[in-house]
Each structure stands twice: as structure tokens, then as C-alpha cells.
């Protein structure tokens, strides 16, 4: 059996803001998709729909993106910190480490978590 990743569908309080955040962070192209917004890069497709009632903090989801090197992981963590400031994700007095966690390691695995504009957590790893 061969299974491929189709697309990731997300619901957001503000699909446009989330699309711009993820587009810049993950270097994905933004396209219109009916009532949604689609992000496309290589073999990855994410579609985002508005749902003002959505509360990502209550959603159980874990998507783990892998990069090719520890250097890329470090660059991505730095970029995530920059976009956390740029998109105003930090509350007054909040530390950027609460939005973009430090790079951690378990054996050969290095990873960090980043929080998007809706409060949803994303994991980025290198093995």
C-alpha cells in the first residue's frame, strides 16, 4: 500500500491572516480556493476556511514537518520568531519563547514548536 499526504484542512478565526503567516513562514504560494485559501509548495497543500467560532486550542492535531538539516531547523526557528513579532503574536510582557519554543533534542531528533495566529501549535523537526 502507498499512502500520500493529500491536503491539510484548517479552520481559522481569520483565514487571510493565518494564510499570510504560514505562507511566509513555510514559503508557500497563496491561491484562492472558493470560500477558502489554499497554500501550495512542492507536495504540500493546506486549505484554510474561516470559522470565527473555531478554537484551535481545543483541537487535537499534530503535524510534524521535517527539514533536511539542523541549520535549516535553526533558520526556520529564527524565522518563526521574526514572524511572531511581525504578526503581533506576543501579548504585552510575553516572551517569544512562549510562541516559538527552543530547539530541543531527543537522541538524533531535534525539534521545536511554533504557535500560529490562531494559537495552533506546529512542530518542525530534523532527524
pLDDT, one tens digit per residue, over 16-53 is: 999 999 999 999 999 988 899 999 998 889 999 998 77
Q: What is the pTM of this model?
A: 0.83
pLDDT in the model for residue 75: 95
Which set of grid coordinates corresponds to residue 75? Answer: 533558520
Pair 75, 83: CB distance under 8 Å: no
CB neighbour class for 73 (10 Å; exposed up to 12, middle 13-18, buried from 19): buried
At which residue does the C-alpha cell 472558493 appear? 34
Residue 64: which pLDDT band, with cuts at 50, 70 and 90? confident
Over range 111-127, report the average pLDDT.
Answer: 91
Q: pLDDT tens, 80-116?
A: 999 988 888 877 777 888 889 999 999 999 999 998 8
Amino acid at each position: 500500500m502507498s499512502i500520500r499526504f493529500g491536503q491539510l484542512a484548517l479552520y481559522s478565526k481569520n483565514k487571510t491572516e493565518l494564510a499570510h503567516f504560514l505562507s511566509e513562514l513555510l514559503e508557500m504560494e497563496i491561491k484562492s480556493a472558493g470560500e477558502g485559501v489554499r497554500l501550495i509548495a512542492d507536495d504540500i497543500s493546506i486549505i484554510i476556511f474561516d470559522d470565527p467560532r473555531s478554537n484551535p486550542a481545543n483541537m487535537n492535531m499534530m503535524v510534524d514537518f521535517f527539514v533536511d538539516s539542523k541549520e535549516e531547523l535553526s533558520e526556520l526557528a529564527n524565522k518563526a520568531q521574526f514572524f511572531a513579532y511581525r504578526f503581533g503574536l506576543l501579548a504585552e510582557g510575553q516572551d517569544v519563547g512562549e510562541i516559538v519554543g527552543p530547539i530541543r533534542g531527543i537522541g538524533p531528533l531535534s525539534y521545536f514548536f511554533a504557535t500560529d495566529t490562531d494559537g495552533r501549535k506546529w512542530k518542525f523537526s530534523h532527524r
